[in-house]
Structure 1
């Protein structure tokens, strides 16, 4: 039984929820960004989310490598496990973004999302879409992909099916009864899901996909345009600590939800802050950039990067003119120069 009656709502939690919900309302009324600008924002956020979520679990692919891989997804042939995981994550995220209205929280849908998440992973073919059959525990990894050790123990394979049924039933009943704020409900659901760790592998990645799905279904329509996974990756130690502090108490008479919920809501608030900053920058760019510079920035936002050759083909301008525009865009903080010589390219800051 999940005991949310012991939940303590601190002033910090109330303030975080208030700020997030204020942005949620403002996003609905936004209307200042054209559809192509929103599409570009979503593409950048998607690349960041895929890269960060897979790196949290030990992948070593950079965002630039993820972006290059996404451009070849139609090939459907991936040579490394990292590439297989990125491809699966990308396809599941796109499914959630396009069809979240048709994916209610059920065990069948959770298992189907898990199967799709690992669809390209040869090593995981034997267990994808099915609950675990042997014990697993949560391990942390450093930035090089090296294991740091076990973070916490998880539910037994024997207990997993009944615990998942209980968790999904609890969520849907609580949502219908409207007893908890949606962000608290989602936060508690995710931390219990991770405590159960129902699948042999892929639980962390799936938990972040499910977080986005539940946010979208709760009306937080801005979620695809700013990467929550990137926020979590940049605070991994705090993430694992909050999980451990709460998960050790979940099966007690008085669970301590506070450590996890504070981390979760702070991460959501940072996601909102980053998106708000991007929107303000979009407005500024649209208002002040010369037409040629705006073309360059828009191409970089749509594709994740731009080279001099691409800029020449895009604009028809000569190299010297474009060099000056690139120099100005870098100086003003709109773009970051990467590489050197013939390998030079420009990405978003």
Structure 2
């Protein structure tokens, strides 16, 4: 497998997108100087969005609110529905990636291990998790109700998948190490080819997004955990599938057309970056004028995942009515989300 300037036309738009992303990457050291608890809160919200979006792209039905509630009780380690099993596995793998990206090199062994962890709670996938596929599979699109609406494209055969994965991993490692292409272009190509191969029986879409995050972190894009790329993809699913189809149908030809996917990928990264810029700006503005008790409530919400009024009274020692007033202000300013009614009401970070 090969990719060079002849097979990928480096247009002015591609150069501009890369320059903008790299500028933000360099500026993150100064931008990302919020207090650790604030960054932790941003990461938690982005993680919930990523888990919810990535599973829904593949037909899952849990909302971000349901994901947040599930993750607040993640120590259960036993999940009844497939949606819950997929969310729990994705949460574990994302935590592993965020905490240990520097120690997870791109190898076939690590890819298989990540796949095994991703499907660790999925009883239906027990026999094949961590192993390349043994039966043909294809990529399908799903509607908002989780129903399959059509085949997006055919994938590599089970016979060819292992060889193609070996070639892809070797090419990606060499391209990143030798800097023959900008790392964002290398990651874009890895992702689209990985999905064209579809090496595992199930979980390929979710795993592709996990590995994309891993490669971005290993390439120095340290801001990635604080804004959800998966959410961007979910909200542009039609463009996502169209770009995949337009590029993947050409990958095994003499003249691969990388342009559709590379442009979609870089534009999605730009959208992810822009969302984070807005969040950071909002954090700085709100914190400059926010009462100390409100800041404390946000810190506790980031740590605990979800909180009730009674818990906040106990943890802060503040008056119940005072707590309620601060909660109302935080909900109206979209810093907290409110769930349930009456005594069952609880709050979590937005």
**Structures share a fold, TM > 0.5?**
yes
Q: How many residue pairs align between the two structures?
A: 349
Could you say what secondary structure the match of 2:84 adopts? helix
2:9 aligned with 1:8, yes or no?
yes
- Aligned residue number for residue 278 of structure 2: 277
**d(CA) in 2 for partners of 1:254, 1:27:** 37
User: Paired residue for 2:241?
Assistant: 240
The CA distance in 2 between the partners of 1:243 and 1:143, in whole Å, is: 20
Instruction: Write out aligned runs for 1:161-240 (5 A).
Output: 161-240=162-241
- Greater displacement, 85-94 / 203-212: 85-94
Per-residue deviation at 1:345? 3.6
Q: TM-score, normalised by structure 1?
A: 0.94
User: How far apart, in 2, do the equivalents of 1:130 and 1:249 lie?
Assistant: 27
Q: CA deviation at 1:348?
A: 4.0
1:310 equivalent in structure 2: 311
The answer (yes or no) to whether the contact 1:60–1:144 under 8 Å persists in 2 is yes
Residue in structure 2 matched with residue 121 of structure 1 by the alignment: 122
Larger mean Cα displacement after TM superposition, 22-31 or 153-162: 22-31
CA distance in 2, matches of 1:103, 1:330: 39
- Pick which of 134-143 and 168-177 moved more: 168-177
Q: Deviations over 1:85-142 (max 9, x none)?
A: 1111111111111221111111111111111111111111111111111110001111
- The whole-number CA distance in structure 2 between the counterparts of 1:67 and 1:334 is 15
Which of 247-256 and 298-307 deviates more?
Answer: 298-307
SS at match of 2:80: coil
Aligned Cα root-mean-square deviation (Å): 1.8
The answer to whether the 8 Å contact 1:54/1:86 transfers is yes
Counterpart contact for 2:308–2:345, Cα < 8 Å: yes
Contact 1:228 1:268 in 2 (8 A): yes
Most deviating of 275-284 and 125-134? 275-284
Structure 1 ranges of 4+ moved more than 6 A? none
For residues 99 and 348 of structure 1, the distance between their equivalents in structure 2, rounded to whole angstroms, comes to: 25
Deviates more, 1:310-319 or 1:117-126: 310-319
Cα distance in 2 for partners of 1:205, 1:297 equals: 30
Instruction: Give deviations 1:3-42, integer Å, cap 9, x for gaps.
Output: 4431011222111111111111111234521222222221
Change (3 A) 1:234 1:31: closer
Distance 1:207-1:155 versus aligned 2 partners, 3 A rule:
same
Pair 1:23 & 2:24 matched: yes
Unaligned runs of 5+ in 2: none
Gaps in structure 1 of 5+ consecutive residues: none
Q: How far 1:322 sits from its partner (Å)?
A: 2.9
